[in-house]
A and B are shown apart, each in its own frame.
Chain A
Amino acid sequence: MSGQQQDPLSFEVVRPGASAPDEHGRRRVHPLTPFIQGVRWWPAGIALALTSTVQFKVTVGAGALLVALAVLLAITLMGTGWNYLAWQRLTFWFDADGDLRVDSGVLSRQERRLQLSRLQSVDVLQPLLARVAGLAELRVEVAGAGDSKVALQFLTLAEANSLRNEIVARSAGVRHDAEEAPENLLAAVPAGDLFLSLLMHAETFVLLLVTGLLIFVTLVTEGTIGLLLLATGGVPLFSIFTQFSRYYEFTVAESPDGLRLRHGLLQKTRQTVPPGRVQAVGFVQPFLWRRKGWVRVRLNVAGASTSAQGSGDQSYTENVLLPVAPWPVALAIVSRVLPGVDIMSIPLVPAPERSRRRAWIQWRQLAVGWDDQVFITRCGRITERWDVVPHARTQSVRVTQGPWQRSLGLASMHVDSTPGAVRISGHHRDADEARRFSQEQADRAARARATDRSLRWVAQQQLSAAASAVSDPANYPPPPMPVIAPVLGPLVSPVEADPVEPAEAGERD
């Protein structure tokens, strides 16, 4: 970043790539960190303050306020003190092998080494308070079971960005003092579309309708059902707000070191997903989005917030590639993640008609398909889902059958991917067919593994440097021409395809 300008607050932090801060070449995070982290103790502090005013039986006036403030101050000071110790003991550096090392811990020490050749994603986050202070958090995830994630809190934004560049460059095996790779904006989600799309989420919409109805009933009968209103109205409004603030000003940009996602209203997030790290891609289309031709694109990325044990109950964060976009834009961007895959032209094999007795609503939608690179499943009637996994990323293949399915001679096949929102399941197939398809999928996966080169992505950068730069980033850019044509493929049945008719799509350019 721009030279060696001295940050007025950083008396010890040295810019990455510059000279070392201590004799071992180890660096520290920003000295303001303990104070910003100290604020996190406030919820606990406020709760304790409230209870202590009750404890001391001072419930009125200035006395109560004084006790509460004193308790809060004490808690904050103690918290900050602890965070200061943690700050003092946290050092990070690049070792001789070029891997990122992080030593931390006050009582129990932790020495972690992140093998950057297994890098999955690098995120730069700016929580509200850190953002005010001009600081940022850097999150690095590598592939691996258990806790394979490191969060460096906090660095100056410029430092976080240059460290991000350094990590990405090292993982790609290019010179680590390389300049930040140039990027090329692919899409930006307009705030209005985002808001509307969140409003039109099926569950949200129904709950809001119920709320409206309840308000009406309350007005008519003059009864009190305030608590119920809080549940039916408050929950969807809260979810709309959180999602809106998370995905606000969502942009997708392409650069040689991967896709860059930026978003956030209060907390700014900047994610980098190196190419070849995407384990699976899923499209989701809630019922009310269909007329608009909108779709949400989600990703599975290895190592992303997997619970340590990886057993049945897994927690993950939804990795969103695009919170909402018209089909052609979504497909154009997915084609950057899965180069050479034409999702729309993959023939689908529907589930047998007798599956209607097991899945009354969605049976017509149930289908699986494959080409030489990916396996794809479709399901869901009210909220439609298309899930895509590259053969080279297939982990294992399963066939399952419950008693009800058994009585109908049906079985479900699953292609296991790393934990995430995208699950690839072909539900309610003919049992023999499910078995056969699973076997074939296992064979395809084996062949794809043998030839897969996508992990060495620097060598095969076919990212067109000349790709059309987007002139108007405030709106969805027109997708590259070749991608629009197949939109009417077998995935989109005629009804849903209306908004993206080929004629209309052709006019776009």
Chain B
Amino acid sequence: MDDTRTVDDAFAPADAAWTRVSPLLARAYRISLAVGTLIGVLVALGLALLPDVPLWLPVSVLAVDAVVTAWASWLIGRRVRSWGYAERADDLLVTSGIIMRRLVIVPYGRMQLVDLVAGPVHRWLGITTVQLHTAAATTDARIPGLTPAIAADLRDRLARRGEQRSAGL
């Protein structure tokens, strides 16, 4: 767990103070992965119980399911550690992703709304997602896996800065 170089320098410039998200997010990912795996197993089971279905079909479904599960669970830890955000003077940086990596720079003056979102699993675990919206639909700046207190603080800070620097369109 001490793989500190989770993100390349290009995607997490060292000149910013990066905050990582809660490890609870990994549990949320594992739960969704388990649900996905379970669905795969059920599909395989259903196929096996159907008449006229050759045996190799459910077996291969199971095999694919197992491979995907193994691969995804191997990635989960790194995926969670890849999430990070940094608040700078004029903008917010968000980085994420292992396979598809990205870094988003959102100027405070461009933020139109800041949402807090939590689905049932996340709520049960006690984590929240902060979702930023600008006038561009492609911005895609969300930070999952924050504890509610941190998330609410972050939202208020962002909203305040957004108001100070608001630039219209």
- Chain A residues close to B by CB (< 8 Å): 118, 143, 145, 277, 279, 302, 306-307, 310-312, 314, 392-403, 406, 411, 414, 416-419, 423, 431-432, 434-435, 438-439, 442, 445-446, 449, 452, 455
Option from B9, B99, B140, B165 in Cβ contact (under 8 Å) with A398: B140
Stretch at the interface among B29-37, B69-77, B129-137: B129-137
Shortest Cβ gap from A275 to chain B (Å): 13
Shortest Cβ gap from A276 to chain B (Å): 9
Contacts of A310 in B (CB 8 A): 133, 137
Are A311 and B137 within 8 A (Cβ)? yes
Cβ-based interface call for B107 (8 A): yes
Option from B102, B107, B165 in Cβ contact (under 8 Å) with A442: B107
Are A396 and B100 within 8 A (Cβ)? no
Cβ-based interface call for B150 (8 A): no
Number of A-B contacts (CB under 8 A): 112
Are A416 and B136 within 8 A (Cβ)? yes
Are B106 and A396 within 8 A (Cβ)? yes
Stretch at the interface among B18-26, B109-117, B118-126: B109-117
Q: Which residue of B lies closest to A401 (CB)?
A: B101
Q: Which residue of B lies closest to A433 (CB)?
A: B10
Option from A401, A418, A439 in Cβ contact (under 8 Å) with B105: A439
Contacts of A400 in B (CB 8 A): 100-103
A401 to B13, CA, bound (A): 15
Option from A302, A401, A439, A449 in Cβ contact (under 8 Å) with B102: A401
With A145-B113, A396-B136 known to touch, is A439 a contact of B106 (CB < 8 Å)?
Answer: no
Are B138 and A414 within 8 A (Cβ)? yes
Contacts of B136 in A (CB 8 A): 395-396, 416-419
With A302-B169, A398-B103, A401-B100 known to touch, is A431 a contact of B113 (CB < 8 Å)?
Answer: no
Are B13 and A439 within 8 A (Cβ)? yes
Interface residues on B, range: 20 to 34
Cβ-based interface call for B17 (8 A): no
Are B107 and A445 within 8 A (Cβ)? yes
Are B13 and A396 within 8 A (Cβ)? no
With A145-B113, A449-B167 known to touch, is A431 a contact of B107 (CB < 8 Å)?
Answer: no
Option from B101, B138, B167 in Cβ contact (under 8 Å) with A452: B167
Are B102 and A398 within 8 A (Cβ)? yes
A277 to B135, CA, bound (A): 13
Are A279 and B169 within 8 A (Cβ)? yes
Cβ-based interface call for B90 (8 A): yes
Are B135 and A418 within 8 A (Cβ)? yes
Chain B residues touching A, majority SS: loop
A439 to B86, CA, bound (A): 13
Cβ-based interface call for B168 (8 A): yes
Shortest Cβ gap from A419 to chain B (Å): 5
Q: Which residue of B lies closest to A443 (CB)?
A: B90
Q: What are 11 sample pairs from A and B whose C-beta atoms fall under 8 A apart? A: A143-B169, A395-B134, A396-B107, A396-B134, A396-B136, A398-B102, A401-B101, A416-B138, A417-B136, A442-B91, A452-B167
Contacts of B137 in A (CB 8 A): 306-307, 310-312, 314, 418-419
Contacts of B133 in A (CB 8 A): 145, 310
Contacts of A416 in B (CB 8 A): 134, 136, 138-139
Contacts of A406 in B (CB 8 A): 101
Contacts of A118 in B (CB 8 A): 168-169
A395 to B136, CA, bound (A): 6
Contacts of B13 in A (CB 8 A): 435, 439
Q: Which residue of B lies closest to A120 (CB)?
A: B169
With A143-B135, A311-B137 known to touch, is A399 a contact of B102 (CB < 8 Å)?
Answer: yes
Contacts of A446 in B (CB 8 A): 90-91, 107, 109
Q: Which residue of B lies closest to A400 (CB)?
A: B102
Are B10 and A432 within 8 A (Cβ)? yes
With A431-B8, A432-B9 known to touch, is A397 a contact of B167 (CB < 8 Å)?
Answer: no
With A396-B141, A434-B10, A438-B105 known to touch, is A455 a contact of B100 (CB < 8 Å)?
Answer: no
Interface hits, B1-51 → A, CB 8 Å: 8-11, 13
Are B10 and A402 within 8 A (Cβ)? no
A432 to B110, CA, bound (A): 25
A446 to B11, CA, bound (A): 21
Q: Which residue of B lies closest to A403 (CB)?
A: B99
